[in-house]
């Protein structure tokens, strides 16, 4: 029978009378608790076992080697024909308590080799009881650990269940809300998409009709061109057939003359010698003609290379045109003002593309004509080699071919000139694009300067409103009133209630700002200042020309000498001066952003985060 056995290997060290080491091996079966076999091997027993079985291992290395053999048996146990086997052989029944031998066997097709044979003694009642007690103890420990784990897992699961039920109720509520929102959103989207679909279908139908009309026109043009080409080819075919008939007739005549000459050859030797001399001269002429033909072939190859270069240039021009289209699309997205000009340029570029395509088609036709000419030249070469007698007729044909080649060269030159014209037009279009891009960049810079001017004006308005607020607060708390005269400097007020005795800027004295509750204009977004305030002329048309801000001083007040005569985008207005006086001791209600809203444009109104606090407010000294 076949069983799975657990093998326990232990090294026992004993030091009662003498220090010794023993190897204890125990065989057990997990399914049968009464299955127990023990073996204790001392060093002396191992020496006798080594001499009996011819082992080559010491006592210290024996346990590891025994474990290696067992591992090989484990690896081979699932195979049909295992290489290594563990055999437990008993001579009598189990109840007799006779020793049992455990053999490690290696199977071969020739022989079964036993690598190791160990004799085990079956366990007595005391040993079995001890083994069963240890098994019970380990089982109880495992049971306790499992019970603790089960209790913990139950607690965790109950917690998770309660939490998941709560989250489930919340999620179900959220799901209901989302479903309601989703239904409303889907209905709105379906209505919107149906409208968009109807619009797009109408546009697509219109575009389809336009494309069909264009396609029909192109088809008609192509059919006309095809018919013309067919007529030309038919005319050439008829001409070539007539020439072929003439050549065949001449060939037959030449053959008849050759026969007559052969008949008269015996009588006329002098004429034969002259004919030989003529043949030599004709051969020389043939060699010269061969050289000329080679030169013409070289010229044709050069022309083909030029045509290929021209085709590559046309492809490059197509790529440049596509890039210009992309640049134009980008400019259309950035500025809607230039859409009409770009549309015109795109239409012009499309016309250029059509012309370039027609030119490429003409170049292909020229290539086909050149190939036909090469074939004609090859046929002429064969005729020259075969028919030395018809050299005069071939010279005439060569002259005609040369005329055709000259015509083709002229056509190629005309095509090159037309291509150069198209290149110039594309270059002009690129220059126009560069100018438009430069104008766009200039307009962006002007917009940036305008934004800077607006921010500076808003800052000035904020400072003036702060000064006005400080005046009103000083008047209510019994501050010193300052008398303003147009020709003399005003007395600088002090704030005794807030504990501030520092002088205030003369800009505070010379500016008289309106009350936001009474001086709002309904039709305009900005308040109109009274006579006596500094009005800033921020006209965008003048900014685009000169990119500066003009300030008009009010009548009856002198110019501010401390702050300078001109007011513009200078760096000194954006820097905090060293001699500026901080306003401390004021409440936060005195500097309120709501009070400044009527005097600011909607984009430049201060946010709650950007409201000035008393500790960070500075006036130019």
Q: Is 112 exposed, middle or buried (0-12, 13-18, 19+ CB in 10 A)?
A: exposed
- The pLDDT of residue 145 is 95
- In this prediction, residue 17 carries a pLDDT of 67
pLDDT at 65: 92
The full set of domain ranges for the chain reads 5-123
Return the pLDDT at 150.
Answer: 95
The number of angstroms, rounded, from the C-alpha of 145 to the middle of its chain's C-alpha atoms is 57
pLDDT at 93: 61
Longest dimension (CA), the chain: 156
pLDDT in tens, 467-520: 988 888 776 554 444 433 434 344 444 444 444 444 434 333 334 444 443 444
Q: What are the tokens at 247?
A: 């050549």
Which token pair is 497?
């209630």
Read off the pLDDT band of 361 (50, 70, 90). Answer: confident
Residue 140 has pLDDT above 90, yes or no: yes
Lowest-pLDDT choice from 103-107, 130-134, 341-345, 572-576: 572-576
The b/e string for 423-442 (b: 16+ C-beta within 10 A; e otherwise) is eeebeebeeebeebeeebee
Using left for φ > 0, alpha for ψ between -120 and 50, and beta otherwise, residue 499 falls in: left
Residue with tokens 């500066």: 548
Tell me which residue of 535, 489, 530, 528 sits closest to 508, measured CA to CA.
489
- Residue 8 parent element (H or E): strand 6-14
Query: What would the 3-class secondary structure string for 9-49 be?
Result: EEEEEECCCCCEEEEEEEEECCCCCCCEEEEEECHHHHHHH
Region 342-353: what's the mean pLDDT? 81
Residue 527 is predicted with a pLDDT of 41
User: What CA–CA distance (Å, rounded) separates 439 from 76?
Assistant: 86
Res. 555: pLDDT tops 80 = no
Euclidean distance between CA atoms 507 and 492, whole angstroms? 11
- Beta bridge partner(s), residue 551: 536
Report pLDDT for 147. Answer: 95
**454: Cβ–Cβ under 8 A, 6 or more apart, which residues?**
538, 601, 603, 604
CA dihedral 382, 384, 385, 388 (to 10 degrees): 150
Place of tokens 């204890």: 24
- Concatenated DSSP letters of 76-88: TTTSSS-SEEEEE
* pLDDT at residue 328, as a whole number: 77
Q: Three-state DSSP class for 619? A: strand
**Contact status, residue 585 vs residue 500, Cβ threshold 8 Å:** yes
What digits encode the pLDDT tens for the residues 212-255?
Answer: 999 999 999 999 999 999 999 999 999 999 999 989 898 898 88
In angstroms, the CA 65 to CA 84 distance is 14
Number of Cβ atoms within 10 Å of the Cβ of 37: 24
What Å distances lie between residue 355 and 107, 413, 419, CA to CA?
A: 89, 17, 10
Report the alpha-carbon distance of residue 143 to residue 139 in Å, rounded.
Answer: 6
Q: Using pLDDT thresholds of 50, 70 and 90, give the confidence band for residue 336.
A: confident
Work out the angle between the directed axes of helices 269-334 and 339-386 (0-180°, nearest 10). Answer: 170
* Mean pLDDT on 304-312: 88
Q: Supply the mean pLDDT for the chain.
A: 76
What is the Cα–Cα distance from 611 to 469, expressed in whole angstroms? Answer: 14
Q: Which phi and psi angles does 112 have, rounded to 5°?
A: -100, 115
385-407: average pLDDT: 81
d(CA 345, CA 329): 11
From residue 249, alpha-carbon distances to 244, 380, 393, 589 in Å are: 9, 17, 13, 121
Tell me which long-range contacts 522-528 makes (C-beta under 8 A, separation of at least 24): 525/601, 525/602, 526/599, 526/600, 526/601, 527/598, 527/599
Distance CA 162, CA 155 (A): 11
> In angstroms, rounded to a whole number, what is the distance separating the alpha carbons of residues 471 and 615?
18
| Beta-bridge partner residues of 9 | 25
Q: In this predicted model, what pLDDT tens digit does every residue of 182-205 receive, in sequence order? A: 999 999 999 999 999 999 999 999
Residue environment code for 489-525, b if the CB has 16+ CB neighbours within 10 A, otherwise e: eeeebbbeebebeeebbbbbbbbbbbebeeeeeeeee
Q: What does the pLDDT read at residue 477? A: 54
Q: What is the pTM of this model?
A: 0.29
In the predicted structure, residue 556 carries a pLDDT above the cut 60: no
**Can you give the pLDDT at residue 22?**
87
pLDDT at 92: 65
Judge contact between 48 and 119, C-beta under 8 A: no
CA angle 317, 322, 324 (to 5 degrees): 95
Give me the mean pLDDT over the 594-615 stretch: 43
Is pLDDT of 70 > 90?
Answer: yes
- How confident is the model over 523-539, as pLDDT tens digits? 434 444 433 333 333 44
Range from 45-59, 271-285, 362-376, 462-476 that averages highest in pLDDT: 45-59
pLDDT of 562 > 70? The answer is no
| pLDDT at position 521 | 41
What confidence tier does 78 reach under pLDDT thresholds 50, 70, 90?
confident
Reported as a pLDDT band with limits 50, 70 and 90, residue 365 is confident
Mean pLDDT of 386-410: 82
* Helix ranges restricted to H, 265-390: 269-334, 339-386
Average pLDDT (443-464) is 91
Res 53 pLDDT > 50 = yes
Strand order in the sheet with 20-28: 6-14, 20-28, 36-41, 112-122, 100-107, 84-90
Residue located via tokens 């936060």: 588
Look up residue 529 and give its DSSP letter: P
- Residue 105: beta bridge partners? 85, 114
With beta carbons less than 8 A apart as the criterion, state whether 617 and 591 touch.
Answer: yes
Cα separation values, 28 from 31, 143, 400, Å? 9, 21, 113
Region 145-161 average pLDDT: 94
Q: What percent of the chain has pLDDT over 90?
A: 23
Task: Find tokens 């009856």 and name the residue.
Answer: 556
The more confident residue out of 428 and 342 is 428
Structure-token match 């509520």, residue found: 173
CA distance 88 to 81: 18
Residue 480 contacts residue 521 (beta carbons within 8 Å): no
Q: Read off the pLDDT of each residue in 437-460 and give the average, rounded to a whole number.
A: 91
Pull the structure tokens for residue 30: 């997990």
- Which pLDDT score, from 0 to 100, does residue 534 have? 33
* Class level of CATH domain 5-123: mainly beta
Confidence (pLDDT) at 476: 58
Where residue 320 falls among pLDDT bands split at 50, 70, 90?
Answer: confident
């Amino acid at each position: 029978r076949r069983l799975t056995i657990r093998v326990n290997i232990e090294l026992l060290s004993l030091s009662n009378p003498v220090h010794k080491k023993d190897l204890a091996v125990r065989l057990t079966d997990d399914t049968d608790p009464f299955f127990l076999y023990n073996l204790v091997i001392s060093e002396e027993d191992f020496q006798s076992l080594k001499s009996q079985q011819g082992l080559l291992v010491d006592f210290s290395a024996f346990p590891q080697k025994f474990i290696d053999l067992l591992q090989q048996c484990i690896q081979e146990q699932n195979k049909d024909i295992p290489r290594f086997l563990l055999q437990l052989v008993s001579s009598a029944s189990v109840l007799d308590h006779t020793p049992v031998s455990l053999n490690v066997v290696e199977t071969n097709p020739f022989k079964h080799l036993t690598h190791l044979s160990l004799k085990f003694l079956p366990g007595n009642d005391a040993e079995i009881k001890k083994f069963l007690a240890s098994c019970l103890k380990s089982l109880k420990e495992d049971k306790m650990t499992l019970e603790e784990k089960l209790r913990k897992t139950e607690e965790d699961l109950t917690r998770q269940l309660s939490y998941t039920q709560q989250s489930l109720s919340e999620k179900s509520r959220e799901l209901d809300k989302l479903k309601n929102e989703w239904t409303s959103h889907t209905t709105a989207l379906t209505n919107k998409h149906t409208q968009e679909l109807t619009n797009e279908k109408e546009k697509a139908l219109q575009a389809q009709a336009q494309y069909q009309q264009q396609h029909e026109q192109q088809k008609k043009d192509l059919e006309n061109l095809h018919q013309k080409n067919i007529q030309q080819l038919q005319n050439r075919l008829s001409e070539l057939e007539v020439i072929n008939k003439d050549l065949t007739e001449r060939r037959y005549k030449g053959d008849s003359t050759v026969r007559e000459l052969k008949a008269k050859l015996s009588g006329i030797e002098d004429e034969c010698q002259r004919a030989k001399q003529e043949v030599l001269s004709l051969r020389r002429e043939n060699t010269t003609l061969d050289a000329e033909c080679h030169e013409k072939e070289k010229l044709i190859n050069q022309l083909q290379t030029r045509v290929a270069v021209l085709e590559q240039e046309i492809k490059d021009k197509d790529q440049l045109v596509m890039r210009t289209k992309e640049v134009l699309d980008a400019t259309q997205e950035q500025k809607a003002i230039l859409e009409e000009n770009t549309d015109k340029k795109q239409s012009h570029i499309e016309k250029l593309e059509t012309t370039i395509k027609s030119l490429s088609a003409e170049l292909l036709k020229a290539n086909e004509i050149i190939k036909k000419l090469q074939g004609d030249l090859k046929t002429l070469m064969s005729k020259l080699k075969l028919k030395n007698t018809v050299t005069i007729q071939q010279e005439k044909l060569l002259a005609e071919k040369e005329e055709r080649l000259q015509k083709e060269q002229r056509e190629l030159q005309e095509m090159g000139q037309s291509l150069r014209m198209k290149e110039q037009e594309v270059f002009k279009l690129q220059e126009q694009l560069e100018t438009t891009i430069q104008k766009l960049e200039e307009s962006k810079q002007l917009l940036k300067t305008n934004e800077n001017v607006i921010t500076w004006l808003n800052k000035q308005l904020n400072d003036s409103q702060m000064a006005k607020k400080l005046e009103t607060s000083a008047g209510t708390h019994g501050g010193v009133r300052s008398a303003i005269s147009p020709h003399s400097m005003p007395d600088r007020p002090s704030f005794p209630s807030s504990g501030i005795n520092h002088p205030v800027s003369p800009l505070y004295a010379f500016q008289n700002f309106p009350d936001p509750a009474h001086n709002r204009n309904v039709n305009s977004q900005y308040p109109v200042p009274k006579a006596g305030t500094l009005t800033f002329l921020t006209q965008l048309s003048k900014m685009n020309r000169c990119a500066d801000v003009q300030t008009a001083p009010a009548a009856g007040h002198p110019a501010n000498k401390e702050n300078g005569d001109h007011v513009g985008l200078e760096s000194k207005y954006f820097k905090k001066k060293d001699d500026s006086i901080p306003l401390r001791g004021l409440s936060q209600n005195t500097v309120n952003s709501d009070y400044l809203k009527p005097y600011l444009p909607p984009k430049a109104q201060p946010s709650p985060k950007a409201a000035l606090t008393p500790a960070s407010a500075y006036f130019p000294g």
